[in-house]
A and B are shown apart, each in its own frame.
Chain A
């Protein structure tokens, strides 16, 4: 048991200027133990020569003890809600970036259901700039598929793709692109720039007033059910549309055994479909709703134990490509209310890796190569994000995460870096702590503490907002 990551939010600036990082005695992908040297943002040495090369550089080398730790490519989250602009009381790009860095992430895709909606060049570029200014992770905006996420007409997708934010992933997440013709047009249109539509699969008519998974627990609790078929029917439809158009489809937060079956069959036919699962759907079942604590309310809802088993199997066999957090901070008053009035969503950035270790690595379903694929390589590839999800090899970008799988920690929502506290894992002891997160050769988090980026006069806004997080 170690200290709670994020306990000490005071930025340590002393090491932030390091031009070189030497990770001693770590095991890349959990394999052979070696030294890795990152210089000027790039992996320059692996193996016996790394320490010697570091010694030649002299004083400006940050040394990180990798003993017993596994070195992974920096984690990439394809699905996070950073809430800025619009709900800065729940999360900001700065606080979300802090949570991401402490959770081992070097890049985060920000969902567009902000206020205003990220359906225009102006908003996606704003989010992108905020992320750069904070500098703890690369924040890559996702653009809305439709204007205002209203599901009526396409947003200016090409303009967002051509903008400085270089958007490649589009989603109305939170709502489904339910109109089949609009979905078809969106899939066709993003082929202009090899984009991808990330679908929140939820048939709206089948889920009117839905509160939780339709099943035995919902029946007891008298809460309106969210049937599995409402998710699976949209995924099946979209797979057929993707097959017909030859376009890329990504399925957000797949949550049922039947949905995994649909995706598996589509992949076997060669459909260009990828899918994600969230950490909470890998661990928590609908039984958690007894007691009506809305911290367990999420969309899609927590399913059953048999769904959980099927999702773990599907992630292990590659049917599900990636783990994405669906990190969804909510202000206290949006959770301290009756279940039906509560906002759906859960924190995820600081707990995702630990949950994956508990649910996939420890049971032997996924090795560290698999973790690297599901949490770094494939999400970067799906999102067409250059410089991330690359191999740990000489000449590659210096984005790495050092994880101590033998350590454990107890989650305390009030001590996470997010402004919100709505973690469903509160009080749970989980395996795996992040010993270091390194972005382009510069540590952003070390042993549960943030490492503030270099102060930069052009980044006053970021320094201000970061100081709120790290104060």
Chain B
């Protein structure tokens, strides 16, 4: 660790606060979109850049007592969450704070949202305050895309209805890459409520972009009509779908699906689509178990399996912070800073030369 060394992320020093340079220069030529709305249209280059940047951030922070970087000093990030969320919101909040951004949390409850203000007016109000990035969680599919059309700030989709949750897929890919080396040629089996899962959609597109083979397995009632064109193998037999796979990615099954008649009972669902120790052993020897959380232990995943050695569920949480730091670093720094931020204020440069995994 040499204080003078700088990491080489897109020719920009990530430990230095942005001054006059547009921070998005860091991403120049990478094909990064203006907003992160989905993984379906995210290029392989852009995805690799985010994953590589997260790896560099992780390594930069690894040897330090204080993880905080001054990179986004003077930038403002608003977490605008219209749905309850603990892990995603706190993960984004921590990511922003570790980059020295000013982070404001606005939740749907207790704000003007609950007084009947329209989404457009709410985000226009936030935008008018001069923020750099809006991290949006909303129950309506497409909400992030709509908001992106209404504001100047960069919009990061933190989950829109049953559409996408791109940073979840990125953090999942990050963990998989860590554990499996590369995603190309690997087989990922996604299990459960695909119909209502934004996690599944974001993972399907990103995994396909990164060269993995995706198997979907679920009851026929929980897969959307019209997925013939999706780049997946669709099946209904979990044992078959797990056989020889590298990853079992379990999706959360919400209790209300049962009362809506998507399947007869929790017990029957668990028998057919629950991951247990026997099924886990169908994976390849180095295969891993993933779950975006929160888990229904005993329903879609057996407690012993959730806690097994090859379960990477807590790694996913840890990776979430690094991925969201990378996304904010690459995307939230465009435009002039809203507060004075001198490079001389920067904490001692801590990063060292890093290799990209």
Contact = CB atoms under 8 A, between A and B. Distances in A.
Interface stretch (A7-15, A91-99, A215-223, A432-440): A215-223
A338 B226 contact: no
A340 B145 CA distance: 13
Nearest to B230: A219
A216 B201 contact: no
Contact of A222 (B120, B163, B228, B229): B163
A291 interface: yes
A218 B226 CA distance: 8
Nearest to A333: B118
A223 B143 CA distance: 11
A291 B141 contact: no
A292 B145 contact: yes
A222 B164 contact: yes
Contacts, number: 71
Contacts of B66: none
B229 A216 contact: yes
A342 B228 CA distance: 29
Nearest to B223: A219
Interface residues of B, number: 26
B87 to A, nearest CB: 20
A338 B40 contact: no
A74 B339 CA distance: 65
A225 B141 CA distance: 12
Residue among B143, B145, B146, B201 having the largest count of chain A Cβ atoms under 10 Å: B146
A214 B140 contact: no
B163 A337 contact: no
B309 interface: no
Interface string A215-242: 1111111111101000000000000000
B270 interface: no
A339 B149 CA distance: 13
A339 B201 CA distance: 19
B198 interface: yes
A337 B201 contact: no
A306 interface: no
7 contacts: A218-B226, A220-B201, A223-B141, A225-B225, A338-B140, A340-B139, A340-B161
A223 B226 CA distance: 12
Given A336-B120, A337-B146, A340-B161, A219 B141 contact: no
Contacts of A223: 141-142, 161-163
Given A217-B226, A222-B198, A292 B119 contact: no
Contacts of A217: 226
Given A217-B226, A227-B225, A292-B145, A337 B119 contact: yes
A339 B138 CA distance: 12
A361 B176 CA distance: 57
A1 interface: no
Interface string A137-177: 00000000000000000000000000000000000000000
Contacts of A216: 226-229
Interface in A201-223: 211, 214-223
Contacts of B139: 340
Contacts of B225: 214-215, 218-219, 225, 227
Interface of B: 40, 118-120, 138-143, 145-146, 160-164, 198, 201, 224-230
Contacts of B143: 338
A367 B139 CA distance: 48
A459 B40 CA distance: 58
Given A214-B225, A216-B228, A221 B140 contact: no
Q: Which 5 A-B pairs have the closest CB atoms?
A: A292-B142, A222-B163, A222-B162, A216-B226, A338-B140
Given A336-B120, A337-B119, A219 B146 contact: no
B196 to A, nearest CB: 8
A340 B141 contact: yes
A52 interface: no
A222 B229 CA distance: 15
A341 interface: yes
A218 B120 contact: no
Contacts of B141: 211, 221-223, 292, 339-340
Interface in A320-370: 333, 336-341
A147 to B, nearest CB: 29
Contact of B119 (A211, A225, A338): A338
Residue among A221, A224, A227, A339 having the largest count of chain B Cβ atoms under 10 Å: A221
Given A223-B142, A223-B161, 4 more contacts: A216-B227, A337-B120, A338-B146, A341-B119
Interface of A: 211, 214-225, 227, 291-292, 333, 336-341
Contacts of A340: 139-142, 161
A457 to B, nearest CB: 44
A218 B118 CA distance: 24
A211 B141 CA distance: 10
Contacts of B120: 336-337
Nearest to A227: B225
Contacts of A225: 224-226
B119 A339 contact: no
A223 B198 CA distance: 11
B142 A338 contact: yes
B142 A221 contact: yes
B142 A219 contact: no
A216 to B, nearest CB: 4
Contact of B224 (A219, A292, A339): A219
Nearest to B37: A292
Contacts of A222: 141-142, 160-164, 198, 201
Contacts of B119: 337-338, 341
Contacts of A341: 119, 140
Nearest to B163: A222
B226 A214 contact: yes
Nearest to B225: A214
A208 to B, nearest CB: 9
Nearest to B228: A216
Nearest to B140: A338
Contacts of B198: 222
A219 B40 CA distance: 12
Contacts of B146: 292, 337-339
Contacts of A211: 141
Contacts of A224: 162
A106 B138 CA distance: 46
B189 to A, nearest CB: 19
A291 B144 CA distance: 10
B305 to A, nearest CB: 28
Contact of A221 (B138, B163, B228): B163
A218 B142 contact: no
Contacts of A220: 40, 201
B140 A218 contact: no
A435 B135 CA distance: 52
Contacts of B160: 222
Contacts of A336: 118, 120
B226 A339 contact: no
Contacts of A214: 225-226
